[in-house]
Amino acid sequence: MKKILVILSLLFFIGTASAAPIEVNYDDGIYHVVLSGEKIKKKIQFVSSSNLITNREAHNNANSQLTINTGFFDPKNQKTISYIVNDSQTVEDPLFNENINYNPALHQNLTKILNRTEFRILDCDSKLKYEIAQHNAKVDFMCSVVTSAQAGPQLLPNLRLEEEFFILKDKEGNIIRESASVLHKTPRTLIGIKSLPKGEQEVHIFVVTNEHPMTIYEARDLCASHGLDSAMAFDGGSSTSLDYKKIHVVSTQESGDTGRALKSLMIIKK
């Protein structure tokens, strides 16, 4: 009997140790995901598809534990508007999207668009760490980007709406252009980093559904209320999506809806 108990204890320990530390809570139309521990950093990847694909399709194809939407894209030509890096290689580059270059307003502000905020996983002398920074920001010495997804705007420590061309003002300071519905209440996908004692980090993801839509200012305040050191937005609106176990979230929340087809996603491998 004692031997059986020991075996069961070992099986329980092995099952617990191999499981990725993912915590998902739901409250008032908002899913709050917390990723903790060092092991999960090796399981996170930012991926893209040559053709647009739904969150659920990507989740199933990759045998992922958790999948969310990430970067911006152009649904007309199915090309990216955000940089995506996977396995240390740039797999999506907005410079190859001709619609950005041919649009006078976008082309005039191309520098701002290309330098929008991204979420990175860095390899720093064989130790992985999270970082949120502008695309052109250099990584620390002895560090390299393993995988990353760009979108924006940065929410914390500072909201960067004008700097990343999410709003444009005239000479009198009036807003004359808005991108990604930043000033309107809409579903949103947010991601941030919280520093813990001994140099450890947690990733916090908020999937804000259409049951509790937010402006970008409300999204910033949500991240700040959870004590995050840095935070940013991924694509939102109809792109907002989450798959985890039996949880399937799309922005419409209609039964059977598979959600919008997307260009890039964050997956957590099993």
Q: Please report, for the chain, the start and end positions of each structural domain, with discontinuous segments joined by +.
A: 21-269
pLDDT at 1: 42
- How big is the CA angle at 72 (ends 243 and 253), to the nearest 5 degrees? 35
Which of 7, 21, 31, 4 has the alpha carbon at shortest distance from 191?
31
Residues 100-126: b if buried by 16+ CB within 10 A, e if exposed: beeeeebeebeebbbbbbbbbbbbeee
pLDDT digits (tens, 9 = 90+) for 178-228: 999 999 999 999 999 999 998 899 999 999 999 999 999 999 999 999 999
Q: What pLDDT was estimated at residue 5?
A: 37
Q: Is 67 exposed, middle or buried (0-12, 13-18, 19+ CB in 10 A)?
A: buried
Residue with tokens 């929008």: 116
Q: Which of 206, 255, 221, 254 minimizes the C-alpha distance to 26?
A: 206
Distance separating alpha carbons of residues 62 and 188, to the nearest angstrom? 23
Q: What is the pLDDT along the chain (270 residues), one digit of tens a residue?
A: 433 333 333 333 333 334 459 999 999 999 999 999 999 999 999 999 999 999 999 999 999 999 999 999 999 999 999 999 999 999 999 999 999 988 998 999 999 999 999 999 999 999 999 999 999 999 999 999 999 999 999 999 999 999 999 999 999 999 999 999 999 999 999 999 999 998 899 999 999 999 999 999 999 999 999 999 999 999 999 999 999 999 999 986 676 788 999 999 999 999
Length of the chain: 270
Q: In angstroms, what CA-CA distances link 216 with 151, 183, 208, 222, 232? A: 13, 6, 11, 10, 10
Q: Which residues contact 232 (CB under 8 A, 6 or more apart)?
A: 117, 118, 119, 132, 151, 152, 153, 154, 155, 190, 191, 192
